[in-house]
Each structure stands twice: as structure tokens, then as C-alpha cells.
């Protein structure tokens, strides 16, 4: 029997049993929809997160922070000091190293008096070098300029135009702002400085040491004086190559210099960790979705078994007109195949549309909450589900595979019916 | 004549690899020799066929009459390549089909045109599609198939009903479709199982005329298995089956039936086996 004729024949039987076929197909649709939605959505997350993370962060930049390891391992914690920067800078393959000092401060009030005791973090860095590490440390899309006069300060876009404060300007450009903080003995200290620039909007996350929308940036020397401290929160290191060997080598060298009391993170290792976490979640969710597809498979098996019983006589007729066992097997397998294919295609569209809707809802929710921190400016671009050709093929293959595998048993049973018995069947 | 035939058989055995011989090569379409079939019914062995010897010549229109339980259906299954005998040979156009495997039998069935009592049409397919089915199973391309189907549907007088589903046709029309389906593959012979058994008497006569006409026009060998004397009457040769054995005359058959009943009576198993309408 020609394959086209088999398709037509099997198709006519699916069409004949409309209600039953729709229900069977629905099982596949639900499974594939779930798989496609979860996978394309987690793919979209991955793109959104890695995209924002890698913004302004090159692959050859390492951040050194006190404390042993990313997951809190390692017993001793080595503090970092301004004097350590030169040591790190001297390590082979290190292009440049800078110290970053971060402190928490509050503004007693803004100029118009509408905002009081607003807290923010201060990042003290060498302005001339910092921009070479982070392209986001720039006023190109912001206001004013970054002055290397060791006096003027720069603020993040979020402070100039904070989301949560009804558009009222917190820090005016060109004015002096007053910062207030507690020193080691608990007494309040204040300091006033001129704001020379506002950074362009960064959005997304801020890595430790990197610029953020809500940061205040002071020259390192000034920070050292006003906070009366040499202690750094981060040393940011630029390596002369972004190959894995060099990055691993430098990482090891820095670790051993600080006797493993620090953790060294590269943007690639951070992205890798995040991606692994996301993939794990995605695999887990896919497995849950696969269970529903498995249930759909059992449904297919059940319905085909019933359908074959009802069509015993038809099998007899086919055999009487000369159909071989494998022709009958083919007819029933093609039926299962068609059910799987139709279900997968509908599921693909359904899954993508579902993921798109969820992405819209999620980014709306997160965008609103973004002002509060964490996600920073929120995932402002929205989460676009990613539906690659591999996911499309996987979904179709999976849906069709389940249908055919579960159709195999009833189809083979049907094909083996002796013609005499099949023809006698009432 | 027998020698002639034997020569043919030998010849075809020499050419075993040529699996489908030309139908026109054989004057004898079908021959069975000492055909026996036993099967188990529960713990009892049923001797359904006890040694059938029959010869069917090309172009013949013959009937095999017998009451129910006589072994009619079993014989039909054997010569229709639907089942295998316990022993004996079935020579279809020089080929012994008695020991063939499932796939070979399926191929043999492509050369047999079945007409069943209950029509056995596929409900969701139109008359035209039903008639094309045997050709489609053989892998014949669509247009060629359609032309052949149209031709036979025209022959059975249904060219204006080709788009109708079986449920939209009368019993007689459905049986015409099934005759067309049997003819479309240009079979070695037509094998009809109570072709009028499910049809009212008025329609029956025109259907029988059609069967006669088809046999005459197409020169196609036709075997009708029936219990109905009226059906058997249209055939050129009538043989009778009683208790798994074939008889060439009605008298012999009646005698056999009486003997059979007597033995059953003696054994006292009390099974009432009424002679059906056909056999007086």
C-alpha cells in the first residue's frame, strides 16, 4: 500500500471518530503545550538574565571579594585593603586591578524636602580606571559628565529619577548633596559634595563591584578620607586574555595570594552557574510536563485498543482483499502518528502563545516591583519566550514518538488477528 | 486431461520463483486433493472437512450447497486462502497454497474476489473507495485504480452511486458494490459466501442475474457457497457438501445426510441437525 493511501485511509478513520480523536489529540496537546511553554519560557529567562548580566561586563573581568567561595565554603575570611590592589596588579596576565569600597549612607533630605532619610550605597573607585572595566559607568546616555577632579561625585540614574518617588528629583545636578552615615563609634558624620554627572540607565542586576542605577560614586581617595578606612569590598581585575586557561590561572593565583580567604568570580563562571541553575529548573519542569505526555500515551493506547476491537471486522476485510500484517500495522501506526503530529503542532502553537502570555504577565509584575531593588530596573525588555528549531523538533519528535510507541502494542495486536476470526467478528 | 494437468503442475513447480503465474495459463483454476481440516472445540475434535477432492475449471459458474454445520464455511476459508488445512493440498493455478505462510496467503488473497453475505464494506468509505481498496492495498497508483473501479462499478450498474456510502445504499446495491470490489482486482476466481443471504427475494433475482452476467461477460470463474437451492439453480454445476465430504449429485448427498443422521441417532448425542431449506 502506498504511504499516501495509508495516510488517507488512516486520516479518514480519525475523521470518522471525531469526538474520540479530539480527546486523544487533546492529551498530546496538553503535554506538548506544557513542555513547549516551560522550555521556551525558561529559554527566554535565560536570554533576559544573561543579556542583562553581561551588559557592560566583559568576559575577562574577575571580581575578588572577601570570604571563601561563592557558596560560603572555606573557613577564614581575608579582608581586602587598598594596598592589596598593587599585589594583584603584579600577578601575571593581570592587565589592571582596581579597588572598590562600598558603604551605606543616607540622605537626610532632598532639596525640596519631599524625601527624607533616603538610603543608598556609595561606591568609591578610581573614576579613570572604573570606566575601562564597566562600559555602563558612563554619562553618554545620562546627564553631565564624570570629572576626574577627585572632588565631584557621580550618581546612578535611579537616584536622579527614582521610580518610587513620583518623579521628584532626589539629587539635583550641579548642587551639593549631603551624605550622612554612622562611623565605627556610632556617631553620625556628614559630608557634602558636588554632583557632576548622572549615569545612563543600566537596568537589570548589579554585580558586586559593578555600577548600578541606585549607586553613588565617589573617587576612591575621597572615600578613604571621609570613611576613614582602607578596607575594600571588592577588587576588580582585568585579565589580558579571556581564554579559560588564563582566567583559571589568574583565579588560582589570586586565591593563593589571599590564602583562599577570598572568592574570585568571573563573569563567565557566574553566567555558567546561573545557566546551570536555570537548566536544572527547566529539566525538572520538563519532566513534570513529560508525565502528562506519558498519561496521554496511555490514553492513546486505551483508545486505540477500543477502536481496534470495534474495527476487527474491518481488519478482516482488509486481510480478505490481500492486506498483509505489516500493511495493517502500518495503517494503525499511521493513525497514532497522525494523532501525535496534530497534537504536537497544536501544542507547539499553544505552548508558545502560553509562554508569551506568561512572559508578559511576569515582566509586568517584575517591572512594577523593580523599583524596590533586587531586579533593579526590572526586566524592562520583557521576557520573550525562545522557540528554537531544536525545541520545535524535540516537541514534535516527543509527541509523535509517544503516540507511536503507545500505539505499537494495539496496532501489532490488530495486525496479527487471523483473518477468519476477524471476519467472523460481530 | 489429467496428465495434461499434471504436466502443468510440474511446470509451475519448476518455475516456483515466478510467484504469480498468468491466470490464462491454467485451464484448471483450483483443485483440492484429500483436503482435511480438524479443529478443537473445547476438548472435542471437530472433523470439519474429511477429505475434499474438487476441481474447478476456468470460467465455470459452480455452487457448493450444504446445510449449516456441513463444513461449507470451513471449505470457503480453505479455498479462499483465509486459513490453512490440517492436511491435503489446495492447488490454485498450479500453486499449492496449503502450506503457505501468512504473508504468502495474503498475496494469494489478492487473486481471490470475495463476496460475503454481510457485504463487508467499509462504512466510512464511499462505494468508489471501497471498490478501489484491493487495488490500493496492492499499491496501485490512484488514477489507474480509479479508472478500473469506475469500469466495474459501471458493469454492476452503479456508476451513478459512486459517491454514496454503504449506509446510503440498499442491500442489493451494497452487494453490487462488493461484487465490483471483488472484480476490480481481476481475480483468478470469485468466491461468494451466501451472496443473497441478506437480501430480500425480489432483489435476489436481479442480483443472481448480475452474477450470471458477470460470469458470462468476464469469463470469470465463480464459486458460490450457499444453502439456498434457488441460488444454486443459476449455476452450471452444483456440488453438495455433507458432513465434511463432497458429493456430485443431490441423491448422493441426501443419502449421506440420512446416514449421518442415523449414526448420530445411534450414538444418541441428540444433536438436532435440521436440513436447511435447500436440501429436501
Say if residues A82 and A232 touch (Cβ distance below 8 Å).
yes
Of the candidates A5, A319, A420, the beta carbon closest to that of B106 is on A319
Helices (H) and strands (E) in chain B, counts: 9, 10
Residue among A322, A323, A334 with most chain B CBs within 10 A, to mutate: A322
pLDDT digits (tens, 9 = 90+) for A95-130: 888 898 888 877 766 655 666 677 778 889 888 888
Predicted local confidence at residue A161, as pLDDT = 58
Is A244's Cβ below 8 Å from some Cβ in B?
Answer: no
More confident residue, A77 or A337: A337
- Which of B20, B105, B106 should we substitute to test contact with A (largest number of A Cβ atoms within 10 Å)? B106
Mean pLDDT of chain B: 85
A1 with B102: Cβ contact below 8 A: no
Helix (H, G, I), strand (E, B) or coil at A162: coil
User: What residues in A contact B116, CB-CB < 8 Å?
Assistant: 320, 423
What is the rounded CA–CA span in Å between residue A237 and residue A358? 39
d(CA A370, CA B97): 82
Distance to chain A for B110, nearest Cα, Å: 4
Which cell is B273 given? 441437525
Percentage of residues in chain B having pLDDT higher than 90: 64
**Is the model more confident about A364 or about B221?**
B221
Range ranked top by mean pLDDT from A117-121, A332-336, B20-24, B256-260: A332-336
Q: What is the pLDDT of residue B25?
A: 66
**Beta carbons within 10 angstroms of residue A315's beta carbon:** 23
Q: Do A319 and B109 touch (CB under 8 A)?
A: yes
The whole-number average pLDDT for the span A242-266 is 84
Say yes or no for a CB contact (<8 Å) between B110 and A322.
Answer: yes
Cross-chain CB nearest to B124 (options A5, A13, A324): A13
pLDDT tens digits for range B162-175 = 999 999 999 999 99
Q: What is the mean pLDDT of chain A?
A: 80
Per-residue b/e over A358-384, b at no fewer than 16 CB within 10 Å?
A: bbeebbeebbeebbeeebbbbbbebbb
pLDDT at A329 over 80: yes
Q: Please check whether residue B120 touches A, CB under 8 A.
A: yes
pLDDT at A184 over 70: no
The domain ranges of chain A are 3-55+271-424, 79-257
Q: What is the ipTM of this complex?
A: 0.84
User: Which one of A16, A321, A326, A328 makes the best mutation probe of the B interface by having the most chain B beta carbons within 10 Å?
Assistant: A321
| Contacts of residue A369, Cβ cutoff 8 Å, sequence gap at least 6 | A375, A378
The kind and range of the H/E element at A36 are: helix A18-53
The grid coordinates of residue A202 equal: 543600566
Q: How high is the pLDDT of residue A278?
A: 81
From residue A193, how far is each of A153, A171, A182, A248 by CA, in Å?
A: 7, 11, 17, 41
* Interface check B122 vs A, CB under 8 A: yes
User: Is the predicted pLDDT of residue B1 greater than 60, yes or no?
Assistant: no
User: In this predicted structure, what is the pLDDT of residue B18?
Assistant: 44
* Antiparallel, parallel or unpaired: β B189-193 and A143-144: unpaired
Write out chain A residues lying below 8 Å of B122, CB-based. Answer: 314, 317
Region A418-423 average pLDDT = 91
The DSSP annotation for A194-258 comes to EEEEEPPP--S---TTS--TTEEEEEHHHHHHHHT--EESEEEEEES--SHHHHHHHHHHHHHHT
Closest partner CB to B106 (pick from A5, A314, A323): A323
Q: Which of A3, A4, A18, A320 to mutate to test the interface with B (most CBs of B within 10 A)?
A: A320
Find the residue in A nearest to B109 (Cα): A322
Of A344 and A247, the one with more pLDDT: A344
**Is B107 close to A420, i.e. CB distance below 8 A?**
no
The tens digit of pLDDT for each residue in B241-250 reads: 999 999 988 8
**Phi, psi values for residue A4, rounded to 5°:** -65, -40
CA distance A335 to chain B (A): 15
pLDDT of residue A147: 82
Amino acid at each position: 500500500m502506498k504511504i499516501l493511501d495509508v495516510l488517507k485511509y488512516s486520516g479518514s478513520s480519525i475523521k470518522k471518530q471525531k469526538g474520540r480523536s479530539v480527546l486523544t489529540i487533546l492529551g498530546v496537546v496538553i503535554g506538548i503545550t506544557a513542555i513547549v511553554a516551560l522550555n521556551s519560557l525558561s529559554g527566554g529567562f535565560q536570554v533576559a538574565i544573561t543579556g542583562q548580566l553581561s551588559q557592560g561586563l566583559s568576559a575577562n573581568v574577575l571580581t575578588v571579594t572577601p570570604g571563601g567561595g561563592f557558596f560560603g565554603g572555606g573557613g577564614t575570611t581575608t579582608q581586602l585593603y587598598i594596598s592589596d590592589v598593587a599585589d594583584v596588579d603584579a600577578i601575571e596576565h593581570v592587565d589592571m586591578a582596581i579597588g572598590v569600597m562600598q558603604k551605606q549612607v543616607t540622605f537626610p533630605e532632598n532639596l525640596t524636602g519631599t524625601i527624607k532619610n533616603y538610603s543608598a550605597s556609595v561606591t568609591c573607585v578610581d573614576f579613570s580606571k572604573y570606566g575601562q572595566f564597566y562600559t555602563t559607568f558612563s554619562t553618554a546616555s545620562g546627564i553631565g559628565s564624570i570629572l576626574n577632579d577627585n572632588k565631584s561625585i557621580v550618581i546612578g540614574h535611579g537616584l536622579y529619577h527614582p521610580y518610587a518617588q513620583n518623579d521628584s528629583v532626589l539629587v539635583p545636578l550641579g548642587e551639593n548633596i549631603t551624605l550622612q552615615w554612622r562611623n565605627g563609634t556610632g556617631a553620625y558624620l556628614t559630608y557634602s559634595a558636588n554632583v557632576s554627572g548622572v549615569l545612563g540607565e543600566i537596568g537589570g542586576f548589579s554585580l558586586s563591584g559593578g555600577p548600578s542605577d541606585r549607586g553613588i560614586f565617589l573617587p576612591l581617595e575621597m572615600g578613604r578620607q571621609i570613611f576613614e578606612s582602607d578596607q575594600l569590598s571588592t577588587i576588580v581585575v582585568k585579565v589580558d586574555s579571556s581564554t579559560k586557561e588564563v582566567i583559571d590561572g589568574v583565579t588560582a593565583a589570586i586565591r593563593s595570594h589571599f590564602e583562599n580567604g577570598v572568592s574570585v568570580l568571573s563573569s563567565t563562571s557566574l553566567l555558567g552557574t546561573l545557566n546551570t541553575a536555570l537548566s536544572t529548573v527547566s529539566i525538572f519542569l520538563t519532566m513534570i510536563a513529560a508525565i502528562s505526555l506519558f498519561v496521554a500515551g496511555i490514553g492513546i493506547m486505551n483508545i486505540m485498543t477500543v477502536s481496534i476491537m470495534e474495527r476487527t471486522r474491518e481488519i478482516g476485510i482488509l486481510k480478505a482483499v490481500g492486506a498483509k500484517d505489516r500493511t495493517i500495522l502500518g495503517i494503525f501506526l499511521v493513525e497514532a502518528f497522525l494523532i501525535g503530529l496534530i497534537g504536537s503542532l497544536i501544542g507547539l502553537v499553544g505552548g508558545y502563545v502560553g509562554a508569551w502570555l506568561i512572559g508578559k504577565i511576569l515582566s509586568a509584575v517584575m517591572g512594577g516591583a523593580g523599583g524596590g531593588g533586587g531586579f533593579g530596573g526590572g526586566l524592562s525588555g520583557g521576557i520573550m519566550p525562545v522557540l528554537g528549531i531544536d525545541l520545535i523538533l524535540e516537541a514534535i519528535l516527543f509527541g509523535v514518538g509517544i503516540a507511536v510507541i503507545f500505539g505499537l502494542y494495539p496496532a501489532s495486536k490488530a495486525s496479527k488477528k487471523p483473518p477468519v476470526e476477524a471476519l467472523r467478528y460481530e | 486431461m489429467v496428465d495434461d494437468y499434471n504436466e502443468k503442475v510440474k511446470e509451475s513447480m519448476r518455475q516456483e520463483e515466478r510467484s504469480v503465474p498468468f491466470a490464462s495459463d491454467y485451464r484448471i483454476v483450483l483443485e483440492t486433493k484429500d483436503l482435511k481440516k480438524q479443529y478443537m472445540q473445547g476438548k472435542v475434535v471437530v472433523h470439519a472437512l474429511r477429505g475434499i477432492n474438487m476441481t474447478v475449471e476456468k470460467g465455470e459458474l459452480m455452487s457448493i450447497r450444504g446445510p449449516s454445520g456441513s463444513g461449507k464455511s470451513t471449505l470457503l476459508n480453505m479455498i479462499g486462502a483465509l486459513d490453512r488445512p490440517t492436511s491435503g493440498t489446495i492447488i490454485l493455478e498450479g500453486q499449492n497454497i496449503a502450506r503457505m505462510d501468512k504473508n504468502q496467503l495474503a498475496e494469494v488473497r489478492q487473486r481471490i474476489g470475495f463476496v460475503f453475505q454481510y457485504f463487508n464494506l467499509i462504512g466510512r468509505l464511499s462505494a468508489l473507495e471501497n471498490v478501489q481498496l484491493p487495488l490500493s492495498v496492492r499499491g496501485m497508483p490512484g488514477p489507474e485504480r480509479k479508472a478500473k473501479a469506475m469500469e466495474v462499478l459501471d458493469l454492476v450498474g452503479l456508476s451513478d452511486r459512486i459517491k454514496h456510502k454503504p449506509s446510503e445504499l440498499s442491500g442489493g446495491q451494497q452487494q453490487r458494490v462488493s461484487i465490483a470490489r471483488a472484480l476490480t482486482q481481476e481475480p483468478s476466481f470469485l468466491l461468494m459466501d451466501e451472496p443473497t443471504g441478506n437480501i430480500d427475494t425480489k432483489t435476489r433475482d436481479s442480483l443472481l442475474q448480475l452474477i450470471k452476467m458477470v460470469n458470462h461477460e468476464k469469463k470469470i470463474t465463480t464459486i458460490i457457497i450457499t444453502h439456498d437451492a434457488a441460488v444454486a439453480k443459476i449455476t452450471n454445476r452444483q456440488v453438495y457438501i455433507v458432513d465434511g465430504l463432497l458429493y456430485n449429485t443431490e441423491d448422493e448427498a441426501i443419502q449421506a445426510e440420512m446416514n449421518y443422521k442415523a449414526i448420530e441417532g445411534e450414538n444418541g448425542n441428540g444433536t438436532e441437525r435440521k436440513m436447511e431449506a435447500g436440501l429436501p
